[in-house]
Structure 1
Amino acid sequence: MTFVQLIDCRTSRFDEMNRLLDSWVEQTNGKRTATHATIGKDRADASHFVEIVEFPSYEEAMRNSGLPETERIAQEMVALCDAPPTFMDLDVVRDERLNAVVAREFFERAGRSGTAELFERFHEDYLDHDPANAEDLRLAGAREEYEGWRRAFVFSFRVDDQIAQDDRVCTRWAWAGKHTGDFVGIPATGQNVTMTGTTWHRFRDGRICEGWWEYDRAGLMEQLGVLGD
C-alpha cells in the first residue's frame, strides 16, 4: 500500500528551505526511497507550507528516514521553521488519478460504445495527432475515423500500462479485432488481427483536449495480407 508523510510547517525563510531540499535530493541520489514530493503554500498565509512525500510503503519510508542525510536535513529544516513543524504518517486508503481514470475508460469503452458516448469527455477543440493521417484531425475528424474503424472491425482494447503526470496520461495498450468490413480499400477478410500501441492524452479541465498515437499499423496491414514477407 502506498504511504505518505505530511509535514506541516511555518517559515519566513522558504527560499533557504527550498535550497535545503534541493541539497537533500542531491545528497540522497540513488539511496532515497521517496517516489513523489509536493509542497503547497497556503494562499491565506504566505508563511504556511505543507509538504507531502509519497513512498511505496511504510517500511520504505522508515528506511528513507533512517538515512544519515535525511536526519541531518530534517534537523536543519526544523531550524528554519518559525515554530516546530508537525508530522503525520498516512496510509493511503484511496488514490485516484482522475485523468488516468478518464483515459482508461476511453479505451475500455472503445469498440463497444457509440461515437457520441465515447467522445463525451473530449473538448470541442480536441486535436488528434496520428502518423497514419496526412494532417492532424479535429474532433469531428476523430469521430469520423472511429466510425470507420468500427465499420471495418469488431474490436476491443486492453490497457496494459498507464502513467499520469501533470495534465498528461500515457496509456500502453493492446488491440484485438476481427476484420468484418472494408478497411482503407481492403475488403473484409474475416481475419482475426492484433496490434499494440501507445497513446498520450492531454487534459484540460478534466476533459481530453489532445492525443498522440503510435501503433503497429504495418503489422496490422501484414496480418491483412497487404504487406509481403
Structure 2
Amino acid sequence: MTFVQLIECRTSRFDEMNRLLDTWVEETRGRRSATHDLIGKDRSDDAHFVQIVEFPSYEDAMRNSHLPETDRIFQEMAALCDGMPTFTDLEVVRDEQLYAANARRLFELIATEGELPPLNNVMAEHYHGHDPANEQDTLGLENMRRECEMWRGAFDFAFTVDDQIAQGDRVCTRWTWQGTHRGDFLGIPATGRRVSMTGTTVFRCGEDGKLVEGWWQYDRLGLMAQLGALDELET
C-alpha cells in the first residue's frame, strides 16, 4: 500500500533549503525509494511550508530514511527552520486520479450496449480529436459522437484499460479493444469474426476535468487483416 509522509516546517530560508533538496536528489540517485516529492507554501503564511513525499510502502520509506545522505541533509535542513519540522505518517486508503477516472469513464461509455449515452459529462463541447487513420481531425462533441456511432454500428465491442499514467493535465491510457464484426465497416460487410487490437490514447483535460483533446494511436492495419481485407493483397 502506498505510504505518504507529510513534513511541515517554518523557515525564511527556503531557497537554501531547496538547494539542499537538490543535493539530496543528486546524491541518492539510484538508491532512494521515494517516488514523488511535492512542496507547497501556505498562501496565508509565507514562512509555512508543507512537503509531501510518496513511497511505495512504509518499509520503503524506512529504507529511504536510513540512507546516510537523508540523515545528514535533514539535519542541515532542520538548522534552516524555525523550530524542528513535524512529521505525519499516512497510509493511503484512497488514491484516485480524477482525470484518469474521467478517461476510463469515456471508454466505458463508448462501449455501452444499446443507445450511446451522453458524453458531455466527460468531454468538452469543443473536443478536438487527432486520429492518423482519419483524413480530418474530429472537431466538436457531436462529431465525436458520430465517430463513436460508426464503430458501434460495425462492432459489438468492449475496452480493457491495461495501463494509465496521469501527469499534469494529460492522461495516457494503454488499452485493448475486443469486438465482434456485426455491421459494415469501411465497406467491409459483416463477417461475424471476433477481432481485437491494442492502442494508446493521450487526453488533455480542461480545468473542469473534461477531456478537451485526444491523440489516438491503434493497430487499424492489424484489425483490417483480421477482417480479411488484406487477403487479396497477400495473394
Q: How far did 1:119 drift? A: 4.4
Q: How far did 1:116 drift? A: 4.4
Structure 2: distance between partners of 1:47 and 1:225 = 67
Residue type at the aligned position of 2:95: D
The aligned counterpart of 1:72 is 72
* Percent of aligned positions that are identical: 65
Question: Which of residues 194, 197, 212 in structure 2 aligns to 1:195?
Answer: 197
Moved over 2 A (4+): 113-120
The aligned counterpart of 1:17 is 17
The aligned counterpart of 1:223 is 226
Q: Kindly indicate whether residue 36 of structure 2 is the aligned counterpart of residue 33 of structure 1.
A: no
Unaligned runs of 5+ in 2: none
Q: How far did 1:84 drift? A: 1.6
Moved more, 198-207 or 48-57: 198-207
The aligned counterpart of 1:151 is 153
What is the root-mean-square deviation in Å for CA atoms of aligned residues? Answer: 1.2
Q: How far did 1:108 drift? A: 2.4
Moved more, 114-123 or 153-162: 114-123
Structure 2: distance between partners of 1:41 and 1:227 = 60
Unaligned runs of 5+ in 1: none
Q: Deviations over 1:33-86 (max 9, x none)?
A: 000111111110111110000000000000000000111110011011122211
Q: How many pairs does the alignment contain?
A: 229
Q: How far did 1:105 drift? A: 1.6
The aligned counterpart of 2:139 is 138
Q: How far did 1:124 drift? A: 1.2
Q: Kindly indicate whether residue 216 of structure 2 is the aligned counterpart of residue 213 of structure 1.
A: yes
Q: How far did 1:226 drift? A: 1.0
Q: How far did 1:180 drift? A: 0.9
TM-score between both structures, scaled by the size of structure 2: 0.94
The aligned counterpart of 2:60 is 60
Structure 1: distance between partners of 2:117 and 2:72 = 57
Residue type at the aligned position of 1:122: M
Structure 2: distance between partners of 1:119 and 1:190 = 32
